[in-house]
Amino acid sequence: MPSYTPPLRDMQFVMHELLHVVDELQTLPAHADLDVETINAVLEEGGKFASEVLFPLNMSGDEEGCHLDPVSHKVTTPKGFKEAYAQYVAGGWPALSSDPAYGGQGLPLVVNQFFYEMLNSANQAWTMYPGLTHGAYASLATHGTDTQKAIYLEKMVSGQWTGTMCLTEPHCGTDLGLMRTRAEAQPDGSYRITGNKIFISAGEHDMAENIVHLVLARLSDAPPGIKGVSLFIVPKFLVNADGSLGERNGIYCGGLEHKMGIKGSATCQMVLDGAVGTLVGAPNKGMNGMFVMMNAARLGVGNQSLGLTEVAYQNALAYAKDRIQMRSLSGTKAKDKAADPIIVHPDVRKMLLTAKAYAEGGRALQAFGTMLLQKEHSHPDEQVRKDAGEMLALLTPIVKAFITDNGWIATSGCLQVFGGHGFIKEWGMEQYVRDARINMIYEGTNTIQSLDLLGRKILGNNGATLRKFGKLVMDLAQAEASNEAMKPFITPVAELGQQMTQFTMDIAMKGMQNPDEVGAAAVDYLRVAGHWVFGYFWARMAQVALREIAAGNTDPFYQAKLQTARFYFAKLFPETTSLMQTARQGSSVLMDTEAALA
């Protein structure tokens, strides 16, 4: 059976030693009184909830799955899920980082993000039920009317009601301009919405008394394509004027998807049969509100794979220390045993260190991105808000795609550490691999993220934001130019930064002649950019570790951080060389292939 220990020490390192989040947050009026002790105490309790309440339900939830009653259209979640959600609500966890105006606790977003990393490690399928509510809350808080906010937000913040987003239809996934769900205006100002949605996570369940669906649909006079999409609130139960629940609305689950992973999460086919909805924002401007939720979800999906990478690593490490198999190539290490523990073998260590490097690099990037999101929404300086939003827009596709690609690599490698036992259900590793696979697909496939990064976020503004990130790299390199101990960490990142300019220009020039060149290079390009960003944070983490060691700190944590940094730059970062080569090979070997694909 697997186990899980919340990585509180590394979270504290990222927050307090690497990013100094309390100092940053105290400049914001809402967090002027924040202190380190409060953050640490909250996350310690959150870790207990994750490891003691959710983690024991992970394997059983996967085995049992969800069940749909075809007559009542009710979905029953796995045994223990509903009770765990009640504990989650009773503990005040849904309100952690929400606005106090709606009953929230007003803690920083970074605290909520680390809490959710632990929830994802413990039980990703369960975490999707409350997780989607945060995005729906953010969308309504930004684009909802005062009346809509008064009706919905307090109960979503408390956890009494949950939320979803209903985008995808059977004939269209990412291309939302093709959607057919229609909305007909009613005399009372509401709308009747009819259509079908698929792949709706937490679309129906038994954990909360109401579900607030955010639905994309087309008005009867809407222009074609994405410019004709509107956003609507469609609750499972209609809400009376006094806030009580009214009659059942015409939105229901018509079927459950039978999936490879996250089986404890209800992925629903939703039918809208004249369901009553209210418009969010302006007509035909629905993507404005939905993108608030989608961008939050993309950061959240990266966090899902981060959580899986961490828990898979912990279990593979424990197994590698215990499992004996063959002798070390360099001589017997465990003379009292019939064979050596497999952790002595170089390739086993490579798989373990790969997962560790991707988990710790991803944790630093997630925290940095979440701090940008906090500044974008609540910093008193308009220019700081603008700069933070611009940098976050650049990093969001990297968070989503690079961390989830790495999660697939890491969970697969950790399964491999177990050998044949990894393929057997009772050890829990095959579930992490199956669960991790969806994260590369939903909320915009990783190819879509790559096209977004290269086509819109970089070429779309002639590399201006990329150069701003490059300045962070160069500032670090210049600050440590005379520090010999930092050269193994600084030199690769600085050199790649110099190469990124020409690399980007090469793809841009080809793309001007043939847009397929951008499509052919985008996935490789994002992975290069992802390593550049990870390399920057690994260099900064090495900087902190070296500083502590030089000051006489004997905590082995810092030696471990340095050793992991050395591994990352020696064994993982060099992938960028081959990726730049393949990205430059162009589109012809992909597109001029009629015979090969006949």
Q: Residues with catalytic annotation?
A: 443
From residue 87, give the alpha-carbon distance in Å to each of 116, 132, 263, 319: 15, 18, 21, 32
Q: What one-character-per-residue DSSP string does 210-267 give?
A: EEEEEEEEEETTPPSGGGG-EEEEEESEEE-TTS-EEEEPSEEEEEE---SS-TTS-E
Query: How many separate helices (H) and strands (E) can be counted in the chain?
Result: 18, 11
SS3 state of residue 580 = helix
Per the rule left: phi > 0, alpha: psi between -120 and 50, beta: everything else, 106 is left
Both tokens of 136, joined, read 């729906």
- Backbone φ and ψ for 191, nearest 5 degrees, come out as -135, 150
Segments in 422-486 forming alpha helices (H): 429-438, 446-451, 464-479
DSSP collapsed to 3 states, 330-352: CCCCCCCCCCCEHHHCHHHHHHH
- Residues forming a β-bridge with 218: 182
Whether the Cβ atoms of residue 541 and residue 493 lie closer than 8 Å to each other: no
> Which residues, other chains included, contact 25 with Cβ-Cβ below 8 Å and sequence gap of 6+?
31, 34, 108, 110, 371, 374
Percent of the chain that is helix, strand, coil (3-state, to 5): 60, 10, 25
SS3 state of residue 517 = helix
Q: How many CB atoms lie within 10 A of CB 465?
A: 19
Pairing type for strands 230-235 and 161-166 reads unpaired
Q: What one-character-per-residue DSSP string does 480-537 give?
A: TTT-GGGHHHHHHHHHHHHHHHHHHHHHHHHHHH-THHHHHHHHHHHHHHHHHHHHHH
Cα–chain center distance at 585 = 31
Both tokens of 427, joined, read 């050890």
- Backbone φ and ψ for 174, nearest 5 degrees, come out as -70, -30
Whether the Cβ atoms of residue 48 and residue 119 lie closer than 8 Å to each other: no
Whether the Cβ atoms of residue 110 and residue 370 lie closer than 8 Å to each other: yes
SS3 state of residue 67 = strand
